[in-house]
Amino acid sequence: MDVSKEIQSLLGANAEESLSIVRKLREVHCCFRCCLRFLSCRPLKLYAVPEQDLGAAFAKLLDSQDQASDFVCTACLGCLSAPDNTEFSDDLQQRFEREGYQTKQVNLSCTLPISMLSRDHLLALYLRDTLKIKVAPREPKEPFKHLISKLLRNKLGLNINTEGSLRMTVVMAHEPTATEHMFLTQAKNPVLKVRKKQRKGKITILGDSRSTVAEALNALSDDEARSLTSVPPSQQTTTATLASLDLMHDSVYLAGRYIKLSREFSQTPWSIKGKKLAENSVSESICELIKTQHRCDGYKFVSAGREDANVRMLGTGRPFYLELINPRVAKFTQEEYDTMQNTINSSDTKDAVQLRDLTNINPKDTKIIKEGEQFKRKTYRALVWMSDPVTQEMMDKVNAAGKEPFKIQQNTPARVFQRRAGIIREKEIHYLHIARPARAGDSAGLEKHFAVVTMNTQAGTYIKEFVHGDLGRTQPNLASLAGTQGADLIELDVMEVDLAWPPKK
Residues serving a catalytic function are: 308
Q: Compute the distance between CA of residue 273 and CA of residue 96 in angstroms, rounded to an integer.
A: 39
Q: Which of 316, 173, 177 is nearest to 234 (CA)?
A: 177
Q: Which residues contact 485 (CB under 8 A, 6 or more apart)?
A: 387, 388, 479
- The number of residues making up the chain comes to 505
Residue 188: how many CA atoms within 13 Å on its side-chain side?
A: 8
Handedness of CA 296, 302, 306, 312 (dihedral sign): negative
Choose among 299, 307, 306, 267: nearest CA to 285. 267
- Cα separation, 341 vs 313, whole angstroms: 18
Instruction: Single out the residue of 231, 213, 215, 96 nearest to residue 153, CA to CA.
Output: 96
Query: 382, 491 in Cβ contact below 8 A?
Result: yes
Please tell me the distance from the alpha carbon of residue 134 to that of residue 124, in angstroms, as a whole number: 7
d(CA 283, CA 456): 26
Question: Which amino acid is present at 115?
Answer: S
Cα separation, 79 vs 177, whole angstroms: 13
Which of 155, 147, 152 lies closest to 168, judged by CA? Answer: 152
Q: How far apart are CA 432 and CA 68, in angstroms?
A: 88
User: CA–CA separation, 216 vs 348, rounded Å?
Assistant: 63
> How would you classify residue 483: left for phi > 0, otherwise alpha for psi between -120 and 50, otherwise beta?
left
The burial of 86, by beta-carbon neighbours within 10 Å (0-12 exposed, 13-18 middle, 19 or more buried), is given as: exposed
Which residue pairs, CB below 8 angstroms and at least 24 apart, start in 55-60? 56/3, 57/3, 57/4, 57/7, 58/7, 58/22, 58/32, 60/4
Helix (H) or strand (E) run with residue 97 in it: helix 86-99
Calculate helix-pair angle for 51-62, 3-11, nearest 10 degrees.
Answer: 60
230 φ/ψ angles, rounded to the nearest 5 degrees = -85, 140
Whole-angstrom distance, CA of residue 318 vs CA of residue 256: 8
